[in-house]
Structure 1
Amino acid sequence: MNIAYVYPWDVVGDPTSPDRLAALGVKAVALAASYHSTRAATPYHPSHRVLDVPYSAFYLPIRPSSWSRLVPAGPTWTPADAYLQARDALKAAGLQVHAWTVLTHNSHLGTANPDLVVQNAFGDPYPYALCPAHEDVVDYCERLVWEILEVGAPDGLILEACGPLGFGHQSVHEKTSGSDWTPVDADLLSLCFCTACADRYPPTTRARVRAAIDHPLPPKAGTGTHTTTTHTSRGTTKTTVAGPTTTTTVTGGHSSSTNTPSTITVTTTSTTFVTNGPTATGTIDEALGSLTDEVRAIRVDLSTSLRRRLIAVARSTAPNTPITLHANPDPWAAGAFAPLPSGEPEADVLVANCWGDPSADAARLARLKELSVPGQRVGAYVLALPPRPADAATLADHLRTYARAGATEFHLYHAGLASPQRLTALSEALRLHHR
């Protein structure tokens, strides 16, 4: 089953939207029930072309009695029951509607409750990232899932950001690239040391993390490849290529934390160079040393415990509603696709992000397939926006690559943001793939 992702405002107020989505060749639509702030193009809507969404919102009616300390905000840019209106219109067109549920990524609640957000080893808070080590956060997520299933009555439930987010985030006017932090630094800055997390780690963990970032080991000479990466404001990707001096433009890269597409230029030279301490060794495991296993287990447990509690709520509320997880087999993942290094047999579908290099995406998919249990489906979260071309043959080739890696369904991002040319290319790519 293929599924197209949309926002409620893509459907509400546009009577042509349901039939346009059905014409893509999909059986279902992932409709955002809770979503973070964004600025979205609306190329088809009869009333507007750009919609500013200034804060995280809940798109079903907010019933005060259903919430505890954390209460989601309703939208002002679309009706309070936009999810329900869009759901009914889509189902009338013969489409299934799955509730796209963003959990811990919530700047509105994080800003209002700074004691509940992720904090790095230096004590810097990440207001967009609610930390599930706090019971209030887990309680909010449980209530969110219950309310969506009870009021929204979706045909499926899609869980995104089911764990603590980390350093990488597409903030307004992001100004962090000049620090030249490596991907390992970003992983280290993604470890949470909030009041609920700090005491879970070995006593020396905070000091080790801070030292790995600020006080690298004495330089050590070595021979290998030197990589220069051009960062964009939409993500950072580090690529190393062996061989002689080359300059390569890589499109479709993405930050492991933000899953945000970017275009980068990589200059690679085979030479003798100086490495610069633990963050230059290339992995967070080397940076943490003997602390690695314990810290990793604690980090993964934050996502595992939240996921299992939410699945339990979902199964007790709507036992026959399939559950889809946005997941990453990398135990250090700290983005919308939460770490799932051991699999999750209670979910119906495991979906991997496929916004980067297709071969790397395929490797991630293959690992999720290895972690899946009999009867469990694996999906590819396919980007149909820039830097991907609006070209059916290229997109179809990507789909075939993902299918060979184990994907049995495609989650298409994003049917509301894509231009008419891109939607046409996407529809044709699906047809070519299934031909």
Structure 2
Amino acid sequence: MNIGYVFPWDIVGDPAAPERLAATGVDAIALAASYHSTRAATPFHPAHRVLEVPHSAFYLPVRRPAYGVLHPHAPTWTPPDAYLQARDALASVGLPVHAWTPLTHNTLLGRLHPELTVRNAFGDRYPHALCPSHEDVLDYCTRLISEIVELGDPAGLILEACGPMGVTHQSVHDKTAGADWSATQSALLSLCFCTACTPKYPDPRTQARVRTAIDTSATSMQEALGDLTQPIAHLRTALTTTLLTRLIPATQGRPLRLHASTDHWSTGSFAALPPQNQHGLTGAAALCWGPDDEATTNLARLAHPARKLGAYTTILPPRPPDPDQLARSFAAYSKAGADELHLYHLGLASQARLAAMTVALR
């Protein structure tokens, strides 16, 4: 199956959008039911070419009594039921819609509730990263999925940031690249020491040890953490497992796909998920944005006989709009075991990029 990713505003207000997407040859659409702040190109929309999305929002009606301490906010830049309008328009051309949503990535809620965000070993808060160690965060994620299922009636769900996030964040004018943090340092800076996480560590000196390790030249987490490596890795993946366990009943049996990584120390929106863990997932999608050899390695690590394997790939820069190159990559993913292509992003892509993808899929 080929799944194309879009935002609701790519469809709402553009009557030609559904047919344009159907013509690419995708089998289904991953439609954002909620999403974080962004600045998005809309190269085909008759009303605008750039859309400013200033904060995280929910694209279904926000029923405040359905939530607890944390609740999503409605957009002002597109209708509050934009997901429903887009879903129905896509259904009219035979495209089933899967609800795509980030969970713990929400800067607006993080700024409103800093006590529920990831806090590194130096005490720095990451407002983009809600920490799933907190019951209020688990409760919010569960209620959000329940509302998506009840109001949006999706064909399935596709989740990202379904676990602990970390220091990595492509925020507006991010100025962290020059620090030249290694992968190990980034992982250490992503370990959380909020009030819910800190008591879970096996050694009361863990925070101090991590602070010291951040400023060393350790080349691996094993070298940095020593005897704490496995216990901390287990705690980190357990956060994803706990969150998934809470979410499964809320899906009401809908197919559930997860953006996932087998790296215990994953710091972005791909949840740290050991490959042997199934947790009721219909499928898991591996990051395939880099070179083909790196992508196929990610796929092989995530493969599991009980679920579909997705290749989450991009048709945007730095990839050129080259159908032959795209076709070679798609074929490599398939050979590595991918059952599905998750194609990012059909709303942001130029006509040349959509045309190249269309030819490559054929």
Instruction: Supply the AA of the counterpart residue of 1:160.
Output: E
Q: Determine if the alignment matches structure 1 residue 103 to structure 2 residue 103.
A: yes
Q: Aligned equivalents of 2:223 and 2:250: distance in 1?
A: 38
Partner residue in 2 for 1:352: 286
Instruction: Supply the AA of the counterpart residue of 2:179.
Output: S
137-146 or 295-304: bigger deviation: 295-304
State the Cα distance separating 1:178 from its structure 2 match.
Answer: 2.3
**3-state SS of the aligned residue for 1:422?**
helix
Q: Aligned equivalents of 1:392 and 1:401: distance in 2?
A: 14
Q: Determine if the alignment matches structure 1 residue 323 to structure 2 residue 256.
A: yes
Q: Determine if the alignment matches structure 1 residue 203 to structure 2 residue 136.
A: no
Q: Aligned equivalents of 1:427 and 1:339: distance in 2?
A: 32
State the Cα distance separating 1:334 from its structure 2 match.
Answer: 2.1
State the Cα distance separating 1:25 from its structure 2 match.
Answer: 0.4
Alignment of 1:62-211 (within 5 A): 62-201=62-201, 202-211=203-212
Partner residue in 2 for 1:273: none
Q: Determine if the alignment matches structure 1 residue 18 to structure 2 residue 18.
A: yes
Partner residue in 2 for 1:404: 335
Partner residue in 2 for 1:256: none
Q: Determine if the alignment matches structure 1 residue 212 to structure 2 residue 213.
A: yes
**3-state SS of the aligned residue for 1:140?**
helix
Q: Aligned equivalents of 2:158 and 2:181: distance in 1?
A: 33
Percent of paired sites with the same residue: 58
Q: Aligned equivalents of 1:307 and 1:397: distance in 2?
A: 34
With normalisation by structure 2, the TM-score equals 0.98
Gaps of 5+ in 1: 217-276
Partner residue in 1 for 2:297: 363
Partner residue in 2 for 1:333: 266
State the Cα distance separating 1:18 from its structure 2 match.
Answer: 0.3
Instruction: Supply the AA of the counterpart residue of 1:336.
Output: S
**3-state SS of the aligned residue for 1:365?**
helix
Q: Aligned equivalents of 1:24 and 1:34: distance in 2?
A: 24
Partner residue in 2 for 1:304: 241
Q: Deviations for 1:321-348, whole angstroms, at most 9, x for unmatched residues?
A: 2111111111111211101113325111
8 A Cα contact 1:67 1:143, kept in partner: yes
Instruction: Supply the AA of the counterpart residue of 1:209.
Output: V
From the CA coordinates, give the structure whose radius of gyration is larger. 1
8 A Cα contact 1:365 1:378, kept in partner: yes
Instruction: Supply the AA of the counterpart residue of 1:323.
Output: L
Instruction: Supply the AA of the counterpart residue of 1:200.
Output: K
Partner residue in 1 for 2:353: 422
Instruction: Supply the AA of the counterpart residue of 2:242.
Output: S
Q: Aligned equivalents of 2:11 and 2:74: distance in 1?
A: 17
Tell me which stretches of 4 or more aligned residues in structure 1 moved more than 3 Å: none
Q: Deviations for 1:131-179, whole angstroms, at most 9, x for unmatched residues?
A: 0000000000000000000000001111110001100101111111222
8 A Cα contact 1:345 1:373, kept in partner: no
**3-state SS of the aligned residue for 2:140?**
helix
Partner residue in 1 for 2:320: 389
8 A Cα contact 1:351 1:379, kept in partner: yes
Alignment of 1:230-245 (within 5 A): none
Q: Deviations for 1:382-405, whole angstroms, at most 9, x for unmatched residues?
A: 110000010000000000111111
Q: Aligned equivalents of 2:97 and 2:173: distance in 1?
A: 34
Q: Deviations for 1:40-68, whole angstroms, at most 9, x for unmatched residues?
A: 00000000000000100000001111111
Partner residue in 2 for 1:343: 277
More strand by share: 1
With normalisation by structure 1, the TM-score equals 0.82
Q: Aligned equivalents of 2:267 and 2:250: distance in 1?
A: 24
**3-state SS of the aligned residue for 2:309?**
strand
Partner residue in 1 for 2:43: 43
